[in-house]
Copies of this chain bind each other. A is one copy, B any other.
Amino acid sequence: MADRLTTDFQFHLAPRELASTIPEPLGQPERLAEARTYYRGGVICRQGDAARYIFQLVAGVAIRHVIRADGRRQIIDLLLPGDCFGFTIGKVYRSTTECICDTTAVTRYRRERIDATGAHGCHQAEIEALARLEDHIQVIGRTTSCEKVGAFLLELERRMSNQPQDLALPISRYDIADHLMISVETVSRALGNLKQQGSIRLTGPRAVKILDHDALEVGRS
């Protein structure tokens, strides 16, 4: 069940390779950790489910989203290898985490044990999640759609620095739209504008080369 999204997409690192790059965040990994893999569309945890685990993504891509009353989907968090999620105040998850590509893998840790051991290793993972959300708030806080898309590309490039070649967009235009809270058409048009003004080059529908970082940063269109 090969997924076309994964063909041009280099997140297929073996767990062993990842072990050196991704820190084990939550205490003694051997005792607590539990590995799981998912296909595209698979749900790691669902909104309303009892929050039994804290997760760390080790391979693939996932999005954490909520469905609003009007049926629209809102993507709260884009998860790349190394990112932790599943932190929640109450007893249930408040959002659904869904896998974007095949060969998505997580390590999960029982929450009760983490709570029991004092949540030592969570600290770093939590402030990283905080930084991620703050960065994202600033991305969607830009005024025009070109600025939003440009800032998103820069953020993506920074977070996927393991990829030296062209920036491979891990998610579809629809996902980008729901993440930036603009419409799909606007995303497509914004990419077209950035391309036209020479800030980026679209080497493929899912491959972007950033030519002018400063233009994206400031967002002058």
Contacts and interface: CB of A to CB of B under 8 A. Distances in A.
Contact of A130 (B126, B141, B142): B126
A127 B120 CA distance: 14
Contacts of A110: none
A92 interface: no
Contact of A89 (B69, B128, B142): B128
A96 interface: no
A119 B94 CA distance: 25
A138 interface: yes
A70 to B, nearest CB: 7
Contact of A137 (B127, B129, B133): B133
Interface in A59-90: 66, 68-70, 72, 74, 76, 87-89
A118 interface: yes
A89 B131 contact: yes
A22 interface: no
